Each structure stands twice: as C-alpha cells, then as structure tokens.
Amino acid sequence: MDHQPYAPTPVLYTADGHPLYTTPPTTAPIAVYRPAPVPHLTHQQTPVPTAPTSVYLPTPAAEPGRDVWPARLLAGGIGAGAAGIGLGFLFQAVAAATTGLGLLAAVLALVWLLKNTGGGGGGGRGGAVNLSVNVSNRNR
C-alpha cells in the first residue's frame, strides 16, 4: 500500500490558459449506452423471477388456535401500572401546587391583617380614644 500523498504531475499553462501536459491525457473511449434486450414472452412462458436484493420476511403469526393470554395480561398490567404511576405523579404535582397557593394566600392575608389593624382597640382606627361618661341619678 502506498502511503505517500498523491502528488500530481505539474501542468504548465500557455498565456491564454490552455494546459500543456507532459504526457497526453488518458481518456477512455466514449461508450454508448445500450440497455439489455428484453426477451419477448409468449403467453405460454412465465418470466423467471430474479433474486431480490433485500427480502422482507413477515414475522410468523402465532400458531392457530393458541391464545397468548399470559402476554395480554402482562401487557395490560404493565399499562395499568404505568397509568397509575402517571396519575400518581399528576395528583402529587396538583397537591403540591395547591398547597403552595394556599400558603401564599395565608401569608398575604396575614400581611393584610397586620397592615390594616392598628393594634389596641378601636376597630382599626388606631390611636388613643377620648372617652367621657356622665352618670346622673335622677331618682335622688
């Protein structure tokens, strides 16, 4: 095997760009395409099939009269289990989302109450309240 890189022979060019080869270029003679003749078949002859390049063989079917019930039960069980696991993950995600929203709503409600309630009495007005009570007994 030759491990040397391909080194083309140097080509000289004329002033107008035509190549000057040291050896004449080797070209193959022009070949005319002629398709293979197709034999004319009479009605008594049948064509001989040629070998295909790739053969498709269908998978053999189950034996007739044999029910593959264990395989069907296994497939159904796997499908039901997968559906159950998927629903479990869905419900868990919904529960986590609603718990988070509930906690957020509780914190916001607590902040609102602390903001709008002034502390002490007074019904939310805040500050001190002046109160004067006059009691008189008219029955004396």
> Per-domain residue ranges for the chain?
80-116
- Reply yes or no on whether the pLDDT at 53 is more than 80: no
DSSP line for 70-118 = HHHHHHHHHHHHHHHHHHHHHHHHHHHHHHHHHHHHHHHHHHHHHHH--
- Reply yes or no on whether the pLDDT at 112 is more than 80: yes
- Reply yes or no on whether the pLDDT at 69 is more than 80: no
The band of 89, judged by pLDDT with boundaries at 50, 70 and 90, is: very high
Distance between CA atoms of 105 and 111, rounded to whole angstroms?
10
Average pLDDT, the chain: 76
* pLDDT value of residue 20: 76
Distance, C-alpha 97 to centroid of its chain:
25
